[in-house]
Structures are given as C-alpha cells and as structure tokens.
Structure 1
Amino acid sequence: MSTAKVSGLVYQVRYRYYRSCKELWFRRKSNTESLRCYATEKMPNISNSRKSTLFLGIVGVSVGAVIGAGYSYFKAQQPQKHVMNPDTGITNNIVQDIPDIPISRRVIGSMDNTGLKLKLFQYPTCPFCCKVRAFLDYFGFSYDIIEVNPVMRQQIKWSQYKKVPILLVQVDNGYLQLNDSSMIISALTSYLHERDQGLPEVVKCYPTISYTDDDGSIKKEIMNRYFLMFQEDIPKDRTKENILLERKWRKWADDVLVHMLSPNVYRTLDEAFQAFNWFSEVGEWDKHFPAWERFMIVYVGAVAMWLISKRLKKRHSLKDDVRQSLYDECNVWLRTLKKQGTKYLGGSSPNLADLAVYGVLSSIEGCRAFQDLQAHTKMGGWYQDMQQFVQKHGGAMLMSS
C-alpha cells in the first residue's frame, strides 16, 4: 500500500474520531438549541457519524464475544490440572508453636494406652466436631477440648485452616495438625490397627490436592479421607464387603444427613433462638466467653443461620416441609439396618458409619427438630442404644490393643 493511501486512511480515522468526540461533548451541553444549530451548520453529516460509531461498536462487541466464547470452550476442553497443595505433607503439617489458649475441659480415657496428647478445637454442636468426639469417646482416647467462638474464632487465628474440627497431636518438634473430621477418624483408626508405623507416617496417606473448579475457583480436597490404611492384609475381623459398606455410609452421613440439619434446626426464627440458647448451655459459653461475646453469638448467630437455612433448603432440594426430608433420610438408614438384620451397621457392635450417623445427630439432640424426629420415626431407639454403647464401651479397643 502506498504512503499516500496510508496517510489518507489515517486522516479518515482521525476525522471520524474527531467528529465522534465533538458529538459526545455537545451532548453534554445544557443548551440543546445551540447543539442543534452547531450540528446543522458545522457537522451536516452527524447522522452518518452516529451510524459509523454504532457499527464499529457492534462489530467490536461481536468479535469480542466470539473470541471469548472460543477461548472458554478451549479451556473447558482442557483436562483439570491437579497439583499437590504446597501446604500439605508431613513437614508442613507440623505447627511449631501455638498461643497459650485456655483448655475448656479435659476428657480422660481410663484405658487410653496410646500415649497420644490430643487437643481438639471445636464448636460443641458442630455435627463434624460431634462426629469426632463420638469416635474419640467410643475408642477411649484422652483429649483436651478448646471451645472456639463461632463468630470471632480468635482461638484458631494461629491456623491457616479456618474451620473446625482441628485436632493437634503433640510430636517431638511441635504439633501435628489434622483437619477434616473424616480424615481424623480414618487416620486414627488406621493408627490403632498398626501403631508401629507411627501416626505421622499414617497421615502421609491423606494428602491434600488443589484443583480448579468449573467456575474457576481453587478447591482443596483431602485424598483418601474415607479409607483405612492397612500395611498388611485386611484385619481378620473385617471383610472387603463390610469395609466398602462402612465407607459408603460414612460418606452418606457427610453428604446427605448433615445437609438435613440446618434447614430443620433453624426452620423458624424462634427455633433458631432456641437452638442457640441450647448451644450456649451445652457448650458452657458463660464460662468460656465474656457476656458480650455470648450475646453476639446467640443473637447474631441465630438470625444469620435462620437466613442461611433458607438458601440451604433450596440448594439441597429439600421438601417444603423440611421436617419430612429429615424423616425420610433417617428412615433410609433404619431400612438399611432392618434389611441387614442387625442392630448396627457394624453388626453386633457399631462401626465407623454408626458412629458418624450418631455423632451427626447428637449435634441437634437438644433442638426441637430432634424431638420431632423421635416422635415421627423410630430413630430415637437406635440413637439411645448408640449413646449407651459409646458411654459403656469407653476404650475397650485401646485396652485390648
């Protein structure tokens, strides 16, 4: 292309840009009559300029949309990239030091011969925390409990992981930090079966991976968290079939049963306040938190959870009468036990799935939703049997190990 043609094109582009700028400037003038006169006398082709600008804008948006859609499709076709979380691994799970946080209470297992020194950071009625406590109590572990303020959460500010439960296990160079209730239970159970390998070695079997979700957000997942790690063959008292069945119903407790709780416990504002007052009583918040903190937890927490429960009801596709959804899922569990013909999923004694379901339900024991559940299903009988078994068992497995 010749220099003259290039100069001509440049001039045309500049002229169109000049006219567009002029038009935009005069649009902002308050005197519309002056604008009309100027547009008529000085810029007789103003309508053509508008058409040109509009055309260029439409073309630009269209091209951008096509390119964006193509790029999105290209990215969607790429395999998800899973990378090991740099915060994972036995070395990085060691906490060198933690603040001097007062212990809320201490549980002593009279038959505990493991030598493990455990600290459990928890909310007293969090279903996942209750699940861990049911496991620890059933197997007779000794452990310290630190109540976490569910609003301020200052007791876990030292941790990058901001959820509960968190279990700290004292080791030579600090504390081994275990996150996620199911991983905690799996790791400790695996350790009890084969103590020679040491708990830090067991924890290496549960790495955390990071991956990009469909919406572009970074997600983290603990691998193998429902798996028991046996170095040798399956223990004599277990079969492959009952291990798979146990794993299935442990996942059900986390993925289904738990999601029935909040929409039922916080179904109405009155029930939400009743639940939080019970949480305060069972957690002895009057002893562990100042009055203003306790007031904020109860009243702010109750209102917030009442609002959140509405979204959770929709997200998990619960029935309009959320109580019926709770009854239905608990009846699924009871029918499974009836079909198997045993009192517990584990047979004559509970297994990890029984403890998971019991632990989840124990988190709402003092709520109206639990009272209604007992009145409209046969879950209350199984629950009471489990409660007595957990209390009486008290570490028989530790004594026999």
Structure 2
Amino acid sequence: MSCFRLATATALAGVRPLPPASRSGALRLLTRKRNPDVAFARRQFAVAVENGGGKKKPNGTFKLAVLGATVGAATGSVYTMYQRWTDGSSHKEHEETKPTCLGGIPAGVRITKRYVNPKDTSGLDIVLFQFQTCPFCCKVRAFLDFMGISYAVVEVDAVLRQDIRWSSVKKVPMVLIRQQDGQYVQMVDSSAIISLIATYLQDKRTDIGELAQFYPHTSFFDDDGKKKNDILNKYFLMYREHTPKGVSKETEETDRKWRSWADSHLVHLISPNCYQTMGESLETFEWFSQAGEWDVHFPKWERDLMVYCGATAMWAIAKILKRRHALTDDVRSHMYDALDQWTNELKKRNTKFMGGKQPSLADLSVFGVLSSMEGCQTFKDCLLNTSIGKWFYDVKALVEKNRGQLQRERIENLAAIA
C-alpha cells in the first residue's frame, strides 16, 4: 500500500495548481534568464501553470499511473503472502536450532558392521549412518579411524534410505552419540561431527551432549536473497579455558582454511569427474557396490537399483554441477589444479603433512574426500598427473594402523540390547 500511496501522491502533485503568488514569483525567476533553454522551459512552465488552473479531469497518464501502482501493490502483497505460506519462517534470519536428542537408538535400525578398538579410551558410543563411498562419510570415518575410536556403522540404501526414515534429516553422514544420561544426541554435517568429537577428546570433562549445543543449525540469506541453513562453528573446536599445548592461532586458522577448502571446492570436483560419461558413471557405481559390500547388506534387486538408478542419476547431476561450478569440458584439469594447490602448500611448508609430523584435521578431511574415489578412473589419472600419491598413502597408512578391528554383523533391533 505504501507503493500505491506514493504513486498516487506523485500523480496528484503533477496537476495541482500553484498559488497565485508562487506563479508570479516563478515566472519572474524564469524571465530573468535569457538563453534558449531557459526560454523553452519558461514557455513550458507557463503552459503547465495555465492548464493547472482549470478544473480538468485527470488525463490518461494519471489514470495509468494509478492503475499501475494499484496492480503493483496487489501483486506484491499476493507474492509476499505466498512466500509466507510456503515457508512460514522465510522472514527469519539467524534463527538457531539445537541438535536433537533421542531417548535411544530407533527401533529397526540395522547395524551392518562395527570397528572395535581395544585401545579406545574415548568412552564414546557412536553409531554412524553412512554411504560407504560418500566423500563426507569418508571424512568422518578417516577421522574416527585415525583417532582409534570404536564405532558402529549403519549402511544406508542410497536410493530408498530406509534406515533413516525415522529422522527428520534425510542426509548422511549422521551420527548418534550417547550422552551421560543415556540419551543420544543426533549430529549431522561431517565437519560439525568432526569438530564436536575433536573438542571432546581435548577435554572430556564436558558431556558430549552439552558440547553439541555449540553447533546449532542457523538460518541466513545468501547474496541472492535465498534462505539457507548451515551449522554454526562447524570448523571450530570449543576449548574451555585455553587452547591446548602446541596449538597456536596460526595452526587453527590454517586448519580451518583447508577444511573449508575441502568442503567448498575439492568435493565439488568429484561428481563432474567420476560421472562425466555414462560408462564411467556405471564403472564408479560398480566400485561403490564392491567397496560398500552392497551384495552382502542388501538384496540383489536393491543392489541393482542402487547401481543402475544411481549411475544414471549422477551422470545427469554431474552435468548440472559442472555448469553450477563453472567447470570447463576438461574437468580433469580442475581436479589436477586443486591437488597441485594442496601439494604445493605442503612443499612450501616443507612438512610431511599439513599438520606437521602428524596429520591434522585438514589432512584427514582432504584424505577422506579423495578416498571416496580411490577405486575410480579419476583417482588413477590423478596419481599419474599429480604428486598427490605420496601424501595420500602416507595418511592412509596411519589411518589403517589406528583403525579398530572390523566386525561384520546385522542386528535387527539394537534398542533391545542397548
């Protein structure tokens, strides 16, 4: 309505007669000017004054202005109501949602395997919901394995997703971690999961559920005005009184920089590379099936559905992602450039790992992303055309050395024995 009032007031101002005193003053002012432009303006002004003195009805321009303002205001009101109807919280910004807590493991959750490390002193009870070859899931596993933490795995069907039907969040990786009170805190987002557990390992005096409250979902609007959600502090470790020994501000900033780089850049190069042709997409999903033991954990029809539907869908999605991230047809070159950027930084620092003598969270994040395509042709080409191999296999050796013993199982109702 404010737009309507403004347009109406403007139109009315254009036909309102000037008071006699104002008319004579204005005419005298214009008469003093003696150049052609002023003379023309004087004539137009005089005509406008004379026309304004009559009692003529508003002309067609005025009617169109009023009509346009009315239509514009009505359209804007309808659009606003529609936006609020489709998203009741679309107007809210920086709204925080704390992690969810569950009374126990949901009934029907099927554990497919466990990694049990006798040397694990974390005291954590973790259930990881994952796709075996999802880059973000690989990141979480690389971290848990390197830290020597025991955990259970639920292999989720990438198409039907039956094992996460109970959750309002239909994404993996997702973890359920047991709190001191017996409840399970639910965490999503690989970087937030890693930061939460890494924080707890630095100082176990605070319950894992309390620490999880420092990683809430928050809403914001991007540069295009679209509402987005992300997890606050996901690249930060929440120390209590002071940072631990050997951790400086520079090392923290470096870690956050490269962890963010892995999420915002490196991971987006995988799909356009691994699924750029239908043949390569099918080859990739056959490797996924082998790595994830889909023939063991799922019936044949479900395994075939995941392979053929997944390969077709990702082949199509890869083309969309290629355009979205402004990649050229030579998608391999973008991957090579990214890996050269990482290895050049290692050379500049003259260290074995980004963390120095031992892998940091940044090393484990980049390793996890790359390990998701280890059996694909893309990774083989990367080994031939970049110097990533030495660093990658050095990290892999340490991850496998610290990993717990694999126990394959399928428990239909974990809640009954939890």
Task: Give the TM-score of the pair, scaled to structure 2.
Answer: 0.75
Correspondence for 1:137: 145
What corresponds to 1:198 in structure 2?
Answer: 207
Aligned partners of 1:96, 1:118: CA distance in 2, in Å?
A: 12
- In structure 2, stretches of 5+ residues that fail to align are 1-61, 84-90, 405-418
Q: Is 1:307 aligned to residue 330 of structure 2?
A: no
Q: Who is 1:338 aligned against?
A: 347
How does 1:2-401 map onto structure 2 within 5 Å? 60=67, 63-65=70-72, 81-85=92-96, 88-89=97-98, 92-171=100-179, 172-213=181-222, 217-394=226-403
CA 1:216–1:94: 2 relative to 1, 3 Å = farther
Q: Give the Cα separation in 2 of the matches to 1:369 and 1:62.
A: 57
**Residue deviations 1:306-361 (CA, integer Å, cap 9, x gap):** 01100101111112200000000110001111111111100111100000000000
Q: 1-side partners of 2:105 and 2:388: how far apart?
A: 44
Quick one: distance in 2 between partners of 1:256 and 1:339?
21
Q: How big is the shift at 1:393?
A: 4.0
Amino acid at match of 2:248: T
What letter is aligned with 2:269?
Answer: M
**Residue 144 of structure 1: SS of its match in structure 2?**
strand
| 1:123 to partner: Cα distance | 0.1
The more displaced of 188-197 and 99-108 is 99-108
- Answer whether contact 1:345 1:354 (CA < 8 A) is retained: yes
> Post-superposition shift, 1:161?
0.8
Percent identical across equivalent pairs?
A: 46
Rounded to whole Å, the distance in 1 between the matches of 2:103 and 2:379 is 38
Say if 1:109 and 1:394, in contact at 8 Å, map to a contact too.
Answer: yes
Q: Deviations over 1:137-165 (max 9, x none)?
A: 00001001110001000110000111000
What is the total number of aligned residue pairs between the two structures? 334
Q: Structure 1: which amino acid aligns with 2:101?
A: N
**Uncovered stretches (5+) of structure 1, i.e. residues with no partner:** 1-54, 396-401
Residue 200 of structure 1 and its aligned partner are, at CA, apart by 1.1
| 1:167-196 deviations in Å (ceiling 9; x for gaps) | 111233431111110000001001001100
For residues 372-391 of structure 1, give each alpha carbon's deviation from its aligned partner in whole angstroms, at most 9, with x where no partner exists: 01011111111111111222
Asked whether the 8 Å contact 1:337–1:343 carries over to 2, the reply is yes
CA pair 177-319 structure 1, distance change in 2 beyond 3 A: same
Q: How many angstroms does 1:203 deviate by?
A: 0.9
Q: Deviations over 1:200-240 (max 9, x none)?
A: 12111111112355666542211000001110211111111
Give the match's secondary structure for 1:152: coil
Contact in 2 for aligned 1:81/1:212 (Cα 8 Å)? no
1:69 Cα deviation after fit: 7.5
d(CA) in 1 for partners of 2:261, 2:225: 27
User: Is the 8 Å Cα contact of residues 185 and 212 (structure 2) preserved in structure 1?
Assistant: no
Any conservation in 1 of the 2:199–2:238 contact (CA below 8 Å)?
A: yes
Go from structure 1 to structure 2 and tell me whether the alpha carbon gap of 1:63 and 1:272 turns closer, same or farther (over 3 Å shift): same
Q: 1:146–1:64: structure 2 CA closer, same or farther, 3 Å change rule?
A: same
Whichever residue aligns with residue 158 of structure 1, its letter is W
Q: Secondary structure at the match of 2:368?
A: helix
Q: Give the 3 Å change call, closer, same or farther, for CA 357–248 of structure 1 in structure 2.
A: same
The answer as to whether partners of 1:250 and 1:353 remain within 8 angstroms in 2 is: yes
- Return the offset for 1:60: 4.4
